[in-house]
């Protein structure tokens, strides 16, 4: 005991001498999105000390960042604190539960979790270094997210949770991962890799009709490609690559005159960026409804959750490929490019004479809400990072799990959404512009997610859990990656972390039967009768 006390005193003295604080917790959570907050709340309610490190200063991730039109698949698959979250939103709107909500109300609930459980949160700090001893993380060093690289403090913990959308912690910890799309041959899948969907009249296929010219001067390749079109080549279906499905923002607007800030010309606006959209209007002369160009979902109190739809919309296709591995400074630049794209797109709709009158008149009725994102200029600070790094852990979830052709025996939650990938690139095919990468395949029942898919390989790290950028193929991750599921996995990961601490075992070696028993006690759904 005396030796331990002396070592602790030495650690404090050394940290002080180096100019930074040293703090110790049972559990350290990196990432303040919905999974991170729910995980922290769960662990604290189970008696453990916990801290959340939030690199960007935003709490709640996408759930408080504009994604109010909840992607569910099947509500019966949602349990635990995730289901409770939507019930608490229901109380706001006088319903049993609400799956449509305003960003500010989601943020308020997440902040209530943090406040009532007295969870310390470190804002605007990033992990700059992971300190390991063999296969165990001992501590992480922090620095200002956008400031100098000087260490500001060191966080020690017994178990760490990587709840980032990008998988930043496990990458620094030396855990295996991948970025992009596996070749179909890797896991014997059918929907991974290169996928060139045909144009169909029904909305949702997000493809250009035949005949849309890709060149600045139509028909003249020497004039160069229009903005947003890459020089990528067509490949055989299923070919793997390192490209990442497109990101966007889930946009909250309002048509309440009293609560509206008008859509105005953003700095650096260039209408030439939207020439492809003009050509799309010309190719679709009979498509004059807003939902052919956006998913314009109505939220409570005259607000929206606007998402991408069609061949040219809020997705900045190809603008995000470097994001998963980029530095925070590089990500800031990519973020600003996405902001410029979508704010410019909205201004284009309200101002450019080439926009069909029906569409322009509709968008002119909307503006940014005064009562949302007040500290962020009334626009969401959360980029929709649909996919970053994906861990390669003890078990990899694949298309076969989604289709129930392969069923695991260690469930920690359920997924139920369509296997969904947004477009990855915009290329020239047979002299025409085409989007590539969109996949939407569903009509399968909810399926279980393996505990082993949130654990790294034991030889790589024994005290880390990854409930967000979990171990899954690109196409399986497209089904799992929904906010209700991330909250489910965050809660289950926290329970597993507590069990690992209490039994002094590696996260890979805890007793699954005991984990399952506690998850059921906490009302997680681990199976649905067929």
Contacts of 312 (CB under 8 A, 6+ apart): 208, 228, 274, 276, 277, 280, 293
Separation CA 504–CA 426 (nearest Å): 50
Asked whether residue 338 is domain-assigned, the answer is no
DSSP per position, 396-457: -B-HHHHTTSS--S-EEEEE-S-EEE---EEEEETTEEEEE--EEE-----EEEEGGGGS--
pLDDT of residue 9: 43
**Residue 181 β-bridge partners:** 241
Number of domains in the chain: 1
Cβ distance 458 to 510 under 8 Å?
A: no
Identify the H or E element spanning 14. helix 2-18
91 within domain boundaries: yes
3-state SS string over 448-480? EEEHHHHCCCCCCCCCEECCCCCCECHHHHHHH
User: What's the rounded Cα separation, in Å, for the pair 391 and 469?
Assistant: 6
pLDDT for 415-471, tens place per residue?
A: 999 999 999 999 999 999 999 999 999 999 999 999 999 999 999 999 999 999 999
Going by C-alpha positions, the residue among 315, 310, 186 that lies closest to residue 247 is: 315
| 420 close to 439: Cβ distance less than 8 angstroms | yes
Answer whether 11's CB lies under 8 Å from 35's CB. Answer: no
**What pTM does this model have?**
0.95
pLDDT digits (tens, 9 = 90+) for 162-177: 999 999 999 999 999 9
- Tell me, yes or no, whether 258 lies in a domain: no
What is the pLDDT at residue 200?
81
Spell out, as residue ranges, where the chain has pLDDT lower than 70.
1-20, 202-204, 529-530
421, part of any domain: no
C-alpha distances in Å from residue 118, one per residue of 37, 115, 160? 12, 5, 19
Answer for the pair 100, 69: CB distance below 8 angstroms, yes or no. yes
Give the integer Cα–Cα distance in Å for 98 and 176: 38
Report CA 254 to chain centroid distance, whole Å: 24
CATH code of the domain in which 461 resides: 3.50.50.60
Helix or strand holding residue 114 (H, E): helix 103-116
The answer to whether 385 and 165 have CB atoms below 8 angstroms apart is yes
Could you tell me which of 352, 476, 325 has the C-alpha nearest to residue 406? 476
Angstrom distance (rounded) from CA 271 to CA 348: 7
pLDDT of residue 358: 97
C-alpha distances in Å from residue 121, one per residue of 45, 50, 518: 16, 9, 26
Q: Is residue 214, in this structure, part of any structural domain at all?
A: no
Judge whether 491 lies within some domain.
yes
Whole-number pLDDT of residue 530: 57
- pLDDT of 2: 39
Contacts of 148 (CB under 8 A, 6+ apart): none
Residue 285 resides in a domain = no
Domain housing 456: 22-179+390-416+448-522
Which bin fits 76, alpha (ψ -120 to 50), beta or left (φ > 0)? alpha
Biggest distance spanned by C-alpha atoms of the chain: 81
C-alpha 205/C-alpha 283 separation (Å) is 16
CA distance 162 to 381: 20
Q: Does 99 reside within a domain?
A: yes
Q: How far apart are the first and last CA of the chain?
A: 55
């Amino acid at each position: 005991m005396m030796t331990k006390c002396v070592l602790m005193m030495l650690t404090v003295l050394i940290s002080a001498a180096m100019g930074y604080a040293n703090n110790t917790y049972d559990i350290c959570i990196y990432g303040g999105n919905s999974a991170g907050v729910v995980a922290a709340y769960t662990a604290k309610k189970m008696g453990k000390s916990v801290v959340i490190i939030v690199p960007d200063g935003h709490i709640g991730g996408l759930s408080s960042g504009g994604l109010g039109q909840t992607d569910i698949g099947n509500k019966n698959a949602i349990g635990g604190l995730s289901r409770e979250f939507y019930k608490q939103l229901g109380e706001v709107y006088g319903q049993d539960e609400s799956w449509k909500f305003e960003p500010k109300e989601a943020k308020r609930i997440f902040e209530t979790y943090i406040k009532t459980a007295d969870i310390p949160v470190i804002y605007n700090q990033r992990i700059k270094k992971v300190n390991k001893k063999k296969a165990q993380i001992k501590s992480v060093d922090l620095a200002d997210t956008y400031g100098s690289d000087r260490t500001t403090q060191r966080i020690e913990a017994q178990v760490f949770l990587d709840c980032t959308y990008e998988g930043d912690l496990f990458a620094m910890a030396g855990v295996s991962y991948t970025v992009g799309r596996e070749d179909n041959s890797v896991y014997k899948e059918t929907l991974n890799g290169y996928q060139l969907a045909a144009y169909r009249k029904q909305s949702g296929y997000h493809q250009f009709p035949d005949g849309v010219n890709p060149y600045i001067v139509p028909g003249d390749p020497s004039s160069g490609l229009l903005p947003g079109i890459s020089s990528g080549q067509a490949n055989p279906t299923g070919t793997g690559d390192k490209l990442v499905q497109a990101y966007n923002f889930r946009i909250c607007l309002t048509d309440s005159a009293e609560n509206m800030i008008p859509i105005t010309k953003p700095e650096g606006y260039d209408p030439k960026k939207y020439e492809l959209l003009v050509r799309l209007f010309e190719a679709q002369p009979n498509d004059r409804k807003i939902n052919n160009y956006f998913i314009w979902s109505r939220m409570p109190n005259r607000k929206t959750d606007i998402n991408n739809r069609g061949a040219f919309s809020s997705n900045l296709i190809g603008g995000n490929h470097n994001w998963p591995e980029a530095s925070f400074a590089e990500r800031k630049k990519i973020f600003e490019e996405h902001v410029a794209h979508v704010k410019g797109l909205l201004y284009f709709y309200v101002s450019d004479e080439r926009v069909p009158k029906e569409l322009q008149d509709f968008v002119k009725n909307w503006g940014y809400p005064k009562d949302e994102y007040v500290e962020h200029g009334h626009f969401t600070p959360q980029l929709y990072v649909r996919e970053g790094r994906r861990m390669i852990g003890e078990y990899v979830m694949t298309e076969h799990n989604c289709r129930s052709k392969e069923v695991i025996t260690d469930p920690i939650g359920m997924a139920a959404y369509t296997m969904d990938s947004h477009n990855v690139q915009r290329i020239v095919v047979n002299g025409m512009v085409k989007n590539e990468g969109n996949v939407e395949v569903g009509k399968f029942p909810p399926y279980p997610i393996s505990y082993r898919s949130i654990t790294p390989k034991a030889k790589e790290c024994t005290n880390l859990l990854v409930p967000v950028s979990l171990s899954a193929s690109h196409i399986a991750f497209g089904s799992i990656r929904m906010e209700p599921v991330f909250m489910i996995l965050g809660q289950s990961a926290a329970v597993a972390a507590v069990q690992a601490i209490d039994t002094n075992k590696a996260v890979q070696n805890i007793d699954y039967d005991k984990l399952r028993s506690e998850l059921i006690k906490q009302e997680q759904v681990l199976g649905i009768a067929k």
